[in-house]
Amino acid sequence: MDRYLLISLSFILLLLQSSIFPFLFGGVHQPDIWLVSVIIVSMIFPLRTAFSLAVIGGFLQDLVISNFFGLHLFPYIVIAYLVAKWGKARYNRYWYISVLAVMFGSMVYIILSGIILATGGVIVKFWTYPLYMGIPFVLYNTLFSVFFHYVLWSLKVERESRW
């Protein structure tokens, strides 16, 4: 993925995540399309591209959308590494592989964000937080992963032209 495409994708994701989705999903529960994109990009593209999108997405989401606490940056990088390590070996052209990877990544994100919030001094009940926040989060991300699978696979260039 070239630099301009990465910047364009980041701008579109920032616009969707910061202004359009809070309007459509008004409330606590909304999908995290940065996370969905980071997971699918780390399955399709090289690790450098996945880390770039994870750092850009985590930093922008921490800086612009939420507080400057680091709740998104660290989990995005960890999840990009885990998916690139174990998810790339699978034949990831099928949409259901992306769905399973996004389900796994969303569950890991809920666990990591609960740990980060608990170390930051927030009282987190480790049974109710994954149930209340995790189930809708995983379901929304899973639904959006089917759409993003086809969009992000269309951005991949299979091989360079010979001319």
N- to C-terminal Cα distance for the chain?
Answer: 19
Tell me the average pLDDT across 33-44. Answer: 91
d(CA 136, CA 36): 14
Whole-number pLDDT of residue 63: 86
Q: What is the pTM of this model?
A: 0.88
| 66 pLDDT more than 70 | yes
d(CA 72, CA 116): 10
Closest CA to 7 of 121, 111, 130, 155: 155
Question: Best-predicted range by mean pLDDT among 88-92, 134-138, 158-162?
Answer: 134-138
pLDDT tens sequence across 104-140: 999 999 999 889 888 888 888 878 888 888 999 999 9
